[in-house]
């Protein structure tokens, strides 16, 4: 299990329950004969979790843990196994093998407990389009057992949080994507869950709404809610405290964004701004000793062990093809560079 410095200390059971900090004793938690999991440090623990559909292995022995109160990003292309993993964690789908617990509850033996304590926003927001905003909130509130004064108070909170004041009587179908998304988040948190599962909550939503949505996620995490979020957007991945990249059902990299970039990227990244980038890519791929050449918008990223030392060869090759270079710099790798490099390896 990964143990490392904790940016956001959970306000659940901790060493401080002993009335002292382990550091006061000059001890490690392990010296007390305790596992960190006994201390409530991890909200989700997954070990060797596997799901087979017939002969097909959709999730292939994944292992990860999510610290309490953190935003954990679960990344990967379509079909990688993200939704299947989430469905197993929610107790909706039985694992073929392996173990997982959420909030200390076992996914196979205690699925009802899990569902009572978590909020879930599925890939296609499950809102009733022909109900108003207020009616959707009432419906989900009652589903989660929130009633009376508490429901009224929670609805007020959610409406304010989502910026939906004055729109309670509007039909959900008439809301734009960003509003629907914030309403769907609102329905998922009416019962104040300790943990949220968000499956591609920002897919197809405009950038401004995406930013507003992430601000809400930060607020929730600051309030102590643990969040697992899947996304395709690498800029969103940078906002997570920890990440796991899943590809073909397997986790191929995990850690904080900074750790992943530091440890998983075996080469340097050279960014080239030049004419006719599509042609340039073909030219660059003929050069020996470069691991990866990929296009990011109109810019080319070249990845290799000593890419900086290959600059002369690169310039000559591009010049020979009459391609003009506007700029060429060694840059810090983005998560996307890391991801592509790992997938190809």
Ligand X SMILES: Nc1ncnc2c1ncn2[C@@H]1O[C@H](COP(=O)(O)OP(=O)(O)O)[C@@H](O)[C@H]1O
Summarize as ranges the residues that interact with ligand X (CB under 6 A): 53, 56, 58, 76, 78-84
Q: Could you tell me the smallest distance in angstroms from the CB atom of residue 83 to Mg ion?
A: 3
Is 124 in a helix, a strand, or coil? Answer: coil
**Which option in Mg ion, ligand X, none does residue 296 bind, with CB closer than 5 to 8 A by kind?**
none
- Give the x-and-dash track for 29-68 against Mg ion (CB under 5 A): ----------------------------------------
Q: What is the CA radius of gyration of the chain?
A: 23
Sign (positive/negative) of CA torsion 169, 173, 174, 178?
positive
Q: Which C-beta is closer to ligand X: that of 41 or that of 80? A: 80
Closest residue by beta carbon to Mg ion: 83
**Which option in ligand X, Mg ion, none does residue 76 bind, with CB closer than 5 to 8 A by kind?**
ligand X
Q: Could you tell me the smallest distance in angstroms from the CB atom of residue 57 to ligand X?
A: 9
Q: Which C-beta is closer to ligand X: that of 68 or that of 181? A: 181
**Which option in Mg ion, ligand X, none does residue 81 bind, with CB closer than 5 to 8 A by kind?**
ligand X
Q: Could you tell me the smallest distance in angstroms from the CB atom of residue 228 to Mg ion?
A: 13
**Which option in Mg ion, ligand X, none does residue 251 bind, with CB closer than 5 to 8 A by kind?**
none
Q: Which C-beta is closer to ligand X: that of 76 or that of 91? A: 76
- SS3 of 140-185: the string is HHHHCCCCHHHHHHHHHHHHHHCCCCCCCCCEHHHCCHHHHHHHHH
Q: Could you tell me the smallest distance in angstroms from the CB atom of residue 199 to Mg ion?
A: 6
Tokens at residue 176, please? 């734009």
The answer to whether 303 and 337 have CB atoms below 8 angstroms apart is yes
Q: Which C-beta is closer to ligand X: that of 79 or that of 289? A: 79
**Which option in Mg ion, ligand X, none does residue 201 bind, with CB closer than 5 to 8 A by kind?**
none
Q: Could you tell me the smallest distance in angstroms from the CB atom of residue 63 to ligand X?
A: 17
Q: Which C-beta is closer to Mg ion: that of 10 or that of 95? A: 95
DSSP characters over 50-118: EEEETTEEEEEEEEEEEETT-EEEEE--TTSSHHHHHHHHTTSS--SEEEEEETTEETTT-HHHHHHHE
Sequence-distant (≥ 6) Cβ neighbours of residue 26 within 8 angstroms: none
User: E strand or H helix at 300, and its extent?
Assistant: strand 299-304
* End-to-end Cα spacing for the chain: 24
| Spatial distance between the Cα atoms of 164 and 216, rounded to a whole number of angstroms | 13
Roughly what angle, to the nearest 10 degrees, separates helices 311-320 and 277-284? 120
Interface with Mg ion includes 83 (CB under 5 A)? yes
Q: Which C-beta is closer to ligand X: that of 58 or that of 71? A: 58
Q: Could you tell me the smallest distance in angstroms from the CB atom of residue 54 to ligand X?
A: 7
Query: Binders of Mg ion: how many residues, by CB under 5 A?
Result: 2
Q: Which C-beta is closer to Mg ion: that of 79 or that of 223? A: 79
| Spatial distance between the Cα atoms of 65 and 67, rounded to a whole number of angstroms | 7
**Which option in ligand X, Mg ion, none does residue 289 bind, with CB closer than 5 to 8 A by kind?**
none
Closest CA relative to residue 229, chosen from 256, 208, 199: 199
**Which option in Mg ion, ligand X, none does residue 224 bind, with CB closer than 5 to 8 A by kind?**
none
Residues near Mg ion, by CB under 5 A: 82-83
């Amino acid at each position: 299990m990964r143990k490392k410095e904790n940016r956001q200390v959970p306000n659940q059971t901790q060493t401080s329950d002993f009335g002292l900090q382990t550091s006061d004793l000059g001890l490690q938690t392990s010296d007390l004969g305790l596992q960190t999991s006994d201390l409530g440090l991890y909200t989700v623990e997954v070990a060797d979790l596997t799901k087979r559909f017939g002969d097909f292995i959709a999730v292939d022995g994944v292992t990860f843990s999510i610290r309490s109160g953190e935003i954990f990003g679960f990344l990967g292309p379509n079909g990688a196994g993200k939704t299947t993993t989430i469905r197993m964690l929610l107790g909706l789908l039985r694992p073929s093998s392996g173990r997982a617990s959420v909030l200390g509850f076992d996914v196979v033996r205690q699925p009802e407990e899990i569902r009572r304590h978590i909020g879930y926003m599925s890939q296609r927001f499950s809102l009733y389009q022909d109900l108003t905003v207020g009616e959707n909130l009432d419906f989900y509130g009652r589903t989660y057992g929130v009633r009376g004064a508490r429901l009224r108070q929670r609805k007020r909170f959610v409406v304010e949080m989502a910026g939906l004041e004055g729109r309670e009587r509007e039909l959900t179908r008439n809301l734009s994507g960003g509003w629907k998304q914030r309403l769907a988040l609102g329905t998922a948190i009416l019962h104040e869950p300790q943990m949220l599962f968000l499956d591609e909550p920002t897919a197809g939503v405009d950038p401004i709404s995406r930013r507003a949505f992430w601000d809400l996620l930060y607020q929730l995490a600051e309030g102590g809610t643990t969040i697992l979020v899947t996304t395709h957007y690498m800029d969103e991945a940078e906002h997570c405290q920890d990440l796991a990249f899943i590809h073909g059902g397997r986790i191929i990299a995990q850690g904080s964004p900074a750790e992943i970039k530091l440890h998983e990227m075996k080469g340097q990244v050279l960014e080239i701004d030049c004419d006719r980038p599509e042609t340039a890519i073909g030219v660059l791929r003929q050069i020996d000793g470069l691991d990866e050449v990929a296009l990011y918008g109109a810019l080319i990223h070249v990845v290799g062990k000593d890419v900086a030392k290959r600059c002369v060869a690169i310039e000559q090759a591009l010049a020979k093809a009459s391609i003009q270079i506007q700029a060429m710099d060694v840059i810090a790798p983005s998560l996307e560079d890391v991801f592509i490099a790992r997938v190809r390896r």
